[in-house]
Amino acid sequence: MKLYKFPQAPLEKAIAKRMLTLAPQYREWFASRWAQKPYKKAFIGNKAMPLITLLAKGKTWDDETFNNELAAWDVKFYEAEIEVLRPIVEGDGLLQLMQKNMPPERAQALIDKLDRNRHE
C-alpha cells in the first residue's frame, strides 16, 4: 500500500491524547510500549499510517481497490492498540476531517478489521 502523506506529528499527538483516556489496563500496556522507539515506529508505520491511508483514500477508491488494500493490510492488533485506533475510525479528536465523507460501510469494514485481526 502506498501510504498517504499524512504528517506524523498530528498523528502522534492524537495517539498521545487518546492514551490519556484509555482504561487503566490499556493505558499501562500501551504507554510502556509507546515509550520504546522501535515499537512506536513500528506502530505508526504498520498500523496507524495504513489506517490513515485507508481513511483518506478509501473515500474515493472504488470498492475493489478499497477491499484489496484492506485485505493487503495484514497485521495483528493487541487489545490496547484497538482501543487507541478505533476512535480514529470513528472520528475522534484531531483527525475528524479524515472521516468526513467516508461511506459508513467502509468505516465499519475498518472497525471489523481491527476486531478480527486480534492477537490471541
- Give residue 25's pLDDT: 94
Quick check: helix, strand or coil at residue 118? strand
Residue 1 domain flag: no
Total domains, the chain: 1
CB-hemisphere CA count at 13 Å for 45? 6
Residue 3 domain flag: no
Q: Residue 52 and residue 88: Cα distance in Å, rounded?
A: 8
Residue 97 reports pLDDT greater than 60: no
Residue 6 reports pLDDT greater than 50: yes
Residue 86 domain flag: yes
Residue 2 domain flag: no
Domain span including residue 77? 8-116
Residue 69 reports pLDDT greater than 80: yes
